[in-house]
Amino acid sequence: MKNGLEDQYVIKNNKRLRYGYTTGSCAAGAARGAVRMLLSGETLSEVELDTPKGITLTLQLHDITRGETYVSCAVQKDAGDDPDTTNGILVYVKAEKFSVSAAEQAGQQQKTEKSRPQIILDGGIGVGRVTKPGLSQNVGEAAINPVPRAMILREAEEAAQEYDYEGGLKLTVSVPQGEEIAKKTFNPRLGILGGISILGTSGIVEPMSEKALIESIHVEMKQHFCQGENYILVTPGNYGADYLREHMSIPFENNIKCSNYVGETIDMAIDMGVKGILFVAHIGKFVKVAAGIMNTHSHCADGRMEVLCASAIRAGGSLECAREILEAGTTDEALAVLDSYGILKETMAVVMEKIQFYLDHRSYEQILLGAVVFSNVYGLLGQTRDAEELIHKIQEQAVGVNDIS
């Protein structure tokens, strides 16, 4: 069955990857179907939905149920070729009629030439609830982001106007699998409990989208900042988070994961007004920063052995040592070479100096930046010039935030 995305794709790593559509588009499509079936009395098998990206989707309606004053239906999420945990789930919208008093109708009549229905939008089973400030929704509200919310309300309003309906409408979005799926998402870290978020700024999922990953970092950083954290603790991934929890005396639960996006994380922090960032990172990723590489994904750049080789030479290493480093397959193998030549500590000092230089270069020294770098085999390898100051500030900040809360 065609959905409107047959000719929409991107090329990544020499492969053609299909576009998909967001949970927001699913909810808007289900809302369009449910409200139109409720007001017309007809049964629809599919609806067309105009997305903010300008692509018109054809969405199949599933599991249609009716009552005297309601209709419920679902749209199945298709994430295309994106590795999305929500792919294949059903997003339901239940549309219910309720009466609006004459006084309320008169008040709305004054605002617009044509009476608009009173529409209530909320989340049901499997849609998360916001429990912490700093997000697009207020604490206590359903985690339905602004663009999907606007799309859903637009579909309901247009249908009400088309069928001359002047009563009230209550729309409830639910995702039966949402609570379980949410455990695999950022939602628990953001304080969104009980389910997934209804997301999507364009209505379309672009496979392997860096933009979506960076936006998730921005959302989490904004929340920490709004809760009074001026100094942010960042780890590229699970190794950093584990090291932080097991070996450092700072609140590991407050760390933000930046994946490979070191440069973008710094840029967003500056724009937001953050005063400092401490990175806690494995040498395998962060040695690249010593060469000014701010996206540490292997598809963007590598240079790990080259950086360690150059640093070893600067630290007094021999030509034979340099050759062995260049032949190493992993950073731990290279560290073993440095250790065998007795220059591990000196080489790491050079690496830390260069990491600090390029962090400051990226930020134009507008904020305080530092890094703690480790290996799973050798433990702590070093920290940059400003790391200790950032550790103290984060410790003090944690005490202050806890006192406020």
Count up the domains in the chain and report the number. 2
- 172 and 243 belong to one structural domain: no
| Residues whose CB is less than 8 angstroms from the CB of residue 216 and which lie 6 or more positions away in sequence, other chains included | 186
Where among 205, 225, 254 does a domain terminate? 205
- 70 and 122 belong to one structural domain: yes
Q: What is the C-alpha separation between 281 and 129, in angstroms, rounded? A: 32
- 155 and 263 belong to one structural domain: no
- 55 and 198 belong to one structural domain: yes
| Residues whose CB is less than 8 angstroms from the CB of residue 323 and which lie 6 or more positions away in sequence, other chains included | none
Structural domain includes residue 4: no
pLDDT given at position 111: 40
- 218 and 315 belong to one structural domain: yes
Strands 119-123 and 168-174, bridge-based pairing: parallel
- 280 and 308 belong to one structural domain: yes
- 20 and 67 belong to one structural domain: yes
Structural domain includes residue 103: yes
- CA–CA distance from 25 to each of 54, 74, 164, 183 (Å)? 12, 11, 25, 22
**The overall pTM is greater than 0.85:** no
pLDDT given at position 3: 79
- 246 and 164 belong to one structural domain: no
Domain that holds residue 272: 212-404
Where among 148, 173, 205 does a domain terminate? 205
Q: What is the C-alpha separation between 36 and 195, in angstroms, rounded? A: 27
Q: Please, are residues 217 and 267 in contact by the beta-carbon 8 Å criterion?
A: no
Encode the chain (405 residues) as per-residue pLDDT tens digits.
Answer: 777 787 776 776 667 788 999 999 999 999 999 999 999 999 999 999 999 999 999 999 999 999 999 999 999 999 988 878 899 999 999 999 998 764 455 444 434 334 456 999 999 999 999 999 898 899 999 999 999 999 999 999 999 999 999 999 999 999 999 999 999 888 998 899 999 999 998 999 988 678 888 988 999 999 999 999 999 999 998 889 899 999 998 988 889 999 999 999 999 999 999 999 999 999 999 999 999 999 998 878 899 999 999 999 999 999 999 999 999 989 999 999 999 999 999 999 999 999 999 999 999 999 999 999 999 999 999 999 999 999 999 999 988 765 544
Helix (H, G, I), strand (E, B) or coil at 186: coil
Q: What is the C-alpha separation between 254 and 171, in angstroms, rounded? A: 35
